[in-house]
Structure 1
């Protein structure tokens, strides 16, 4: 049901008449000093496609939900267009919501990857988000609709390179009921930007890159092999690119795993009369590596394209620690044969250390090249 204030304002708006500026309109519907003819069509048919001027100001990134793969934004949106069928007498004249919804043409915008609209201005008790300004001429006005909203967007998040992953989230606004020959979006210079008071509150975790879409972007509504021009839609918006800062993950995950393998290899430098100590040393470090691997799997992000980069590294460290233990068990098995024990310790140690170094030489350039 309509709020009582809206009902009262709607009744008043229909009762208001202003003969001074309504020349040429014999029968009209008015809201204050804004009038339209009864023949006004909400289909908005004109010879040339109307241009909707769009301004998008990102006020704040409110949350980043990695489990749901969403980002919640606070946005200030301004849509402006010329309507030749509106007569106004002044600047920035308010048009109350009941009159707007009952009588005026408004762009039927759609956010393509919207998960949910959390709130917008009218839900906060405001009676209008629209203003009308008279333009030169008797029957033409510029209409401006302005509101602040909180929207949750579905984003492209692939964690297979965790902790070196990137997030891309696009705000795509279009008009699904019209093709590009019927209506167009256009943005003024610096119209799509970060708000002046914007402050990135996730700076300690991510590096952010804000990229507005190029002006007058036209995209197909569906990806098919027989695209025609009437299937093209006007599109505007921006793209957010977030690059995770991996410093903490490197210190917590990679460095301990690397050190555990290095320390396990120190057993090859112990004297051969300490073979039982070499085995117990390797067992303790292997169990520590297993515990770290299990702890990571319990808390890591799921849903990437295969195992994450960190999981592969920890698994490799687990295998190398297990290999070190296997070599020391063989040394323990042949500890009565001094020559064989020496060869096993020497060549086994060289093989284990070389393999671990080779793995790191291959792993790090490949991972870094994918970032």
Structure 2
């Protein structure tokens, strides 16, 4: 959702969201709501029609068709708002999430021309499209100009020398030794893990700054291996733990490289939020680079106890406590730094171990947009109750 470019924001109204959902404390991001929006996404692509409902009883009707060899998405809601959007072949519709904080915002949505610089982008219609769905925990979003081409930007032959060097650096690193030791020490006391699901670990390019992305994937494979061995009823016959990864930036080259890891990583469909649909209470989640609202819905979808484990950044501020019914001045800090009751409750009931590493897993203190958080943020591992 677009962030209004205004110096002060309206107070966040969390109570209204909870009242619409039923009562405070009940899950807002439920599996049923996710699956319904996934169903409507598939209907839109297959039949050209979809209907979504938000927490407040608002209905949005969508039709997708062709006019003069152009894709046209028409949206109407039960209040009479309308949006007509022209889509190019590079524009992608997908299932997205609103965090509780997104739902509690009361500011008008502001869309700038820069959000979609294609000639066919219509800011006012896109604003209406966003406004119609602002009360939906899961909704249909548009990514403008998703032009990832592995054959021209990311050829396999150019990338392999880089990944070979990164793999050697990771294998001999102290942070790998610490990570494996932490996971091994907690494998028996945490809940059994049957799958690892990764979000937003980014694409793999032949560039020196992409080492952290490739290494985070290697870490996912290592975590699965350690858990498989140490949680096996028969250590001589460990059961493989599947690894899934979701990111809109994955290319054909990324998929090949990830499939060659040991154990392999399977790329799942970003457009349908397939990664979220896979989560249950026996899932270990890895989410490090994305600013998308992933972990709040993921924790709720996993069930009352949350996922089995988590590798992420630590949520330094519970905004449900500090922002409720208050103004917030200036730019909101990145999602790395804040969470809601859902995330903090899971954090507080889990065993927390800090992974001291800024280079590959943390967030440097000089990242643009850190707001008041200028210190480096290190990753944490959370191990859920057994």
TM-score (ref. length: structure 2): 0.22
Higher relative contact order (CA 8 A, sep 6+): 2
If you compute each CA radius of gyration, which structure gives the higher value, 1 or 2? 1
TM-score (ref. length: structure 1): 0.23
Greater strand proportion: 1
